[in-house]
């Protein structure tokens, strides 16, 4: 299973829910050495499922070819729409060796029809051939300045459509009758090895510090705060106050989600707790020339920021701080909200979710939670979803002899 980084964990959850057979699933994460070692150990009798992101797949091309999978699945297959990038070339090789191939996408044509070639070359080269240039010359006229813009030939529309559908199955949202009004989706991310080491050290130190003083709600939440900051990619020095970036795992996951949203010509709301996270998100959007609105502490023109997001088709993303953007505003121009990070307030959580799920919303609402695997992110989200008292639960954990900051079992 090859998928964007942000949805690797989705497949683990889906297999647990729906697989009615024996299977062993491993997500290839961590260092390159660890990924290779994990792959080499996958040789049991049950169905062996290896889940890897596109960038890692081309770096592990030799090992994946040796592993010799029977089925290769390209999830969000439009990621390989460009025929001459490393990820696409690796998928061609993996596909050519596998007995079966499957490609999943909601946008097989993202911007222009020429996008289909690379995806179909992975699936079955017999449909459109092996040569991109032969395909382009057969189906497209190159027009515009420098003849760089491919326009589908009118005379070839029917043939292209027929060939597209020859090996395709399409299910529309309207046909999925069990779609809920709102849906929560957890997107697990994996901290880099260095960040994981820092996190584990902080967990150990936090537990040790608790044993030295009064175990109160305030003490527990103070230590939880630093762990939550780290899963978002940053840690601050207690003495100097200098903030250091230690991970961009969540930022990369957000970029994947952003790509999919923009390809579907939709808008996106991104909610985060900490200022360094918000600054990193805004910098990423600016670098990608994506226009956005922003509400966080210090922003004065809040109504103007909302109005731009709601009514300006060029403003694709709303970035909000959970403590300041959760009340009194309407963001129904989007139907998808990403929680980059969470605070511990139930009211903030519920109020923020209601920004897109309110009068004027015409679409089902999707909430995506970026959760660092094996960290306090899991405990925080679980407590909020179950409307539990997080602080009390953590204190109870400690009093029962457990480290309240360790991962969920």
Domain limits of the chain?
2-173, 174-409
The answer to whether 2 and 91 have CB atoms below 8 angstroms apart is yes
Three-state DSSP at 71 gives: strand
User: Which run of H or of E encompasses 189?
Assistant: strand 182-189
Q: What is the pTM of this model?
A: 0.73
Burial track 184-199 (b if 16+ CB lie within 10 A, e otherwise) = eebbbbbbbeebbebb
Q: Phi first, then psi: what are they for 3, rounded to 5°?
A: -145, 165
Rounded to whole angstroms, how far apart are CA atoms 232 and 247?
7
Rounded to whole angstroms, how far apart are CA atoms 343 and 274?
9
Rounded to whole angstroms, how far apart are CA atoms 34 and 365?
37
Rounded to whole angstroms, how far apart are CA atoms 75 and 130?
21
Report DSSP state, residue 259.
H
333's tokens: 């121009």
Rounded to whole angstroms, how far apart are CA atoms 49 and 1?
7
CATH of domain 174-409: 3.40.50.300
Task: Please report the pLDDT score of residue 147 as a whole number.
Answer: 82
Rounded to whole angstroms, how far apart are CA atoms 339 and 295?
15
> How is domain 2-173 classified at the CATH fold level?
Rossmann fold (3.40.50)
Backbone angle region of 298, left / alpha / beta, with phi > 0 → left and psi within -120 to 50 → alpha: left
2-173 with 174-409: one CATH topology?
Answer: yes
Cβ-count burial of 290 within 10 angstroms (0-12 exposed, 13-18 middle, 19+ buried)?
Answer: middle
Three-state DSSP at 132 gives: helix
Burial track 71-101 (b if 16+ CB lie within 10 A, e otherwise) = ebbbbbbbbbbebeeebbbbbbbbbeebeeb
Chain Cα centroid distance, residue 222: 28
Task: Please report the pLDDT score of residue 173 as a whole number.
Answer: 58
Query: Residues in the chain with pLDDT < 50?
Result: 177, 408-409
- Which of 237, 205, 240 has the alpha carbon at shortest distance from 223? 205
Alpha helices for 211-272 (secondary structure H)? 217-231, 249-263
């Amino acid at each position: 299973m090859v998928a964007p980084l942000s949805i690797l964990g989705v497949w683990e959850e889906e297999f647990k829910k729906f697989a009615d057979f024996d299977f062993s699933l491993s997500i290839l994460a961590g260092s390159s050495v660890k990924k290779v070692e994990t792959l080499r150990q996958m040789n049991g009798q049950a169905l062996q499922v290896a889940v890897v992101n596109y960038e890692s797949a081309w770096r592990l091309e030799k090992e994946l070819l040796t592993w010799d999978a029977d089925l290769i699945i390209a999830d969000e297959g439009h990621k390989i729409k460009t025929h001459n990038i490393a990820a696409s070339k690796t998928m061609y090789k993996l596909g050519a060796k596998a007995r079966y191939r499957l490609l999943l996408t909601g946008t097989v044509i993202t911007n222009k029809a020429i996008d289909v070639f690379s995806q179909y070359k992975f699936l079955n080269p017999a449909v459109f051939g092996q040569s991109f240039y032969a395909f382009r010359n057969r189906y497209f006229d190159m027009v515009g300045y420098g003849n760089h813009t491919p326009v589908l030939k009118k005379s070839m529309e029917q043939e292209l459509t027929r060939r597209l559908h020859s090996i395709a199955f399409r299910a529309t949202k309207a046909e999925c009758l069990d779609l809920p009004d709102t849906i929560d989706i957890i997107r697990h991310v994996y901290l880099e090895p260095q960040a994981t080491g820092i996190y584990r050290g902080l967990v150990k130190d936090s537990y040790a510090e608790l044993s030295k003083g009064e175990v109160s709600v305030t003490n527990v939440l103070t230590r939880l705060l630093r762990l939550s900051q780290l899963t978002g990619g940053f840690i601050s020095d207690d003495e100097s106050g200098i903030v250091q970036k230690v991970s961009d795992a969540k930022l990369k996951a957000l970029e994947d989600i952003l790509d999919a949203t923009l390809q579907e010509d939709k808008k996106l709301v991104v909610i985060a707790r900490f200022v360094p996270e918000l600054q990193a998100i805004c910098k990423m959007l600016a670098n990608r020339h994506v226009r956005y609105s922003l509400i966080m502490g210090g922003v004065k023109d809040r109504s103007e920021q909302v109005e731009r997001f709601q009514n300006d088709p060029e403003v694709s993303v709303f970035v909000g701080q959970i403590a300041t953007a959760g009340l009194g505003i309407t963001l129904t121009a989007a139907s998808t909200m990403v929680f980059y990070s969470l605070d511990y307030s139930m009211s903030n959580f519920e109020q923020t979710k209601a920004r897109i799920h309110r009068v004027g919303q015409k679409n089902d609402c999707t909430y995506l939670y970026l959760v660092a695997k094996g960290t306090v992110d899991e405990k925080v989200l679980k407590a909020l979803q179950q409307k539990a008292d997080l602080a009390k639960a953590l204190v109870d954990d400690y009093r029962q002899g457990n480290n309240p900051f360790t991962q969920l079992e």
